[in-house]
A = this chain, B = another copy of it.
Amino acid sequence: MEINSSTTQLTELLSSNKKLLDGIILDFLPTKSSSPEIQSLYEMMRDYPSRGGKGIRGTLCLLWCELFSGAKQKALITASSLELFQNWILIHDDIEDQSDLRRGLPSLHKKYGVELSINAGDALHGKMWELLLSNCGNLGSELTLAILSEFARMLNETTEGQQIELAWTSGNDWDIREEDYALMVTKKSAWYTCISPSRLGIILSTAGHKDENLATKKHSELLKTAVEFGRSFGIAFQIIDDVLNLTADESKYGKEILGDLFEGKRTLMLIHLLNSLEGKRKTNVIESISKPRQSKTTSEMKIVFELMKSSGSIDYARKVAVNHSRQAMKLFEETVSTQSSIHPRIYHQTKSLLEYLSSRDF
């Protein structure tokens, strides 16, 4: 009962924050132009931000800020920018991964073509920096610049992770060790899902403190530790996301059924499966999974999926996610316990969210 009520509370928190943050984004983005072409660009830019989503990254940032007695109000622009980051990068990701669906609707390039969508992604990317610059009035120059630097770091990591994954696909590389996978997923997913949102919340919690320098110094150890547990939570999150891609209903998940198999995505499950197989059986799986997307059939992909189940690859991935999550939670609890004046309700909410990252079923 307690778990259910805590899940409901978390769902409500995520949903109300997401509404708030999307509202900020949509108020900020331009709406009307006398040029019909520019008007159309504005509609493209508002498309993904209007599709909703879970708002995990923005909420995580807000919670970390409040956890250390920061004001939620001062973190809203930054939390919105995290959601905006996801929006623009997903426009480009969907082109790079040839994904046809995004949140249950056709992806942007399916609606408007690749050329216009690359440009719309760039336009939205620019708006992210512009939104972050508007922090200045509320936070002052120093904190605004510190937040911009964290975003630059986050973008470096994310594009490096994306490169690793894309290079595996384009090079038809299947000789991937679990540690290669961990590096890819840390960069591609953990940084922007968990590490940077947490670090940004910590940075923002110092806003308005009498001596911001002192506050920042006090938190500098914390910022380092956030990389550690953020990595583990982020890896767990991505593994579960990949498990859900294969096991969840299309209607619930908003993406194609077995989409990751059609995409040839190097998931922990697929790496585990390939490591469990030998000889002809391994070659067969590599052969069918390496085909171009349009040559793959659903029945063929279902065979690979069944093999994953019978080889224990899905259970293995879930287990690895749980281990990462437990390890991260231990570090999180230890770290927070050393800090004074932790807000108990916020502590509880942050814990729920971090638990949810690695055990969610939606």
Q: Which A residues lie at the B interface, using CB under 8 A?
A: 33, 35, 37-38, 40-41, 89, 92, 95-97, 113-116, 118-120, 122-123, 125-127, 129-130, 133, 136, 141-142, 144-145, 148-149, 151-152, 155-156, 159-160, 162-164, 166-170, 183
B159 touches A126 (CB 8 A): yes
A133 touches B119 (CB 8 A): no
Contacts of A151 in B (CB 8 A): 129
Tell me the complex Cα distance, A116–B113, Å.
18
Contacts of A118 in B (CB 8 A): 92, 95-96, 118
A-B pairs with beta carbons under 8 Å apart, 17 shown: A33-B160, A38-B160, A41-B160, A89-B122, A92-B119, A95-B118, A115-B169, A118-B118, A120-B159, A122-B125, A122-B155, A123-B155, A125-B155, A126-B156, A127-B152, A133-B149, A144-B145
With contacts A133-B149, A133-B152, A152-B129 taken as known, whether A159 is within 8 angstroms of B37 at the C-beta atoms is no
Q: How many copies does the complex hold?
A: 2
B145 touches A142 (CB 8 A): no
Tell me the complex Cα distance, A103–B130, Å.
31
With contacts A95-B118, A113-B170, A116-B170 taken as known, whether A163 is within 8 angstroms of B129 at the C-beta atoms is no
A148 touches B120 (CB 8 A): no
A40 touches B163 (CB 8 A): yes
A119 touches B152 (CB 8 A): no
Residue of B40, B95, B148, B163 touching A123 (CB-CB under 8 A): B163
Residue of B126, B145, B168 touching A155 (CB-CB under 8 A): B126
